[in-house]
Structure 1
Amino acid sequence: MTTTGTHTTRRWGRFALHYVEMIIAMFAGMFALGMLQSVLGLGVSHDQHPDLAYLVMAVNMSVGMAVWMRIRRHGWASTLEMCAVMFVPVVPLFPLLWLGVIDGGVLMVVAHVVMFPLMLVAMLRRLDEYAGCAH
């Protein structure tokens, strides 16, 4: 493999690793902070308030990712973009929920499925930052 080919492979490997790290950090925040909220009696019922439950979960996922991104020395702009991705999927879904077109289960599934490609898009926007070897 040529030096350019090796560099390209390393770059995309670094990008893929960072994507996986973001998913792990997101789930770590969601589970750790969710459990803490439950223990403290601050949990929100998904059955009664799926919209509020999703927003709390999005905050928890954002905290996990933001902490990891700051540890990895990412800037605030890219950190906030990645956190915004946790909230963007529900923008078109909340009105559908409130109108009774979808239920809380559909909201959660669709939002989480859409979140992963949106994370990828946010990372591709800043390819040099996420695929670079400076971190």
Structure 2
Amino acid sequence: MSIVFKIVEQEQIEEIIPLVQKLNGYKDPDDLLRERFLEMFTQNYECAGIYDSGTLVGVCGLWFCTRHYSGRSVEPDHVIIDEAYRNKGLGKQFFNWIYNYALSKDCETMELNTYVVNAESHKFYFNEGFKILGYHFLKKL
């Protein structure tokens, strides 16, 4: 393996989509997902990637904002690593890279959401030092 962590450029959106579609049995059409990502790139969003010999094998969206209770913050979103690359320590390495990247952008905190049924991610985030602060609510309009 020749692993590299770096920011995925907007022009590489077609590489992001197949990985994100693997999350929770994503069912929306490719065109809708592409449209949403194009809009996201205009809204303080970046996407970090894990590359193996030039092939994208993992992604993590990064939302940057300032919050009154935590200061300059980054929120990792839609974190996924291709199944063939899991349980090899890449998640820890990837998040170490993300922590350093966020610090370089003057972030003070990181917070995220994870699905209640995703126990594997809970263990990972607890091991990374995250604490549960509350509940995430969603209402379709």
Q: What TM-score do you get using the length of structure 2 for normalisation?
A: 0.25
Which structure: larger Rg?
A: 1
The structure with the largest helix share of the pair is 1
The structure with the largest strand share of the pair is 2
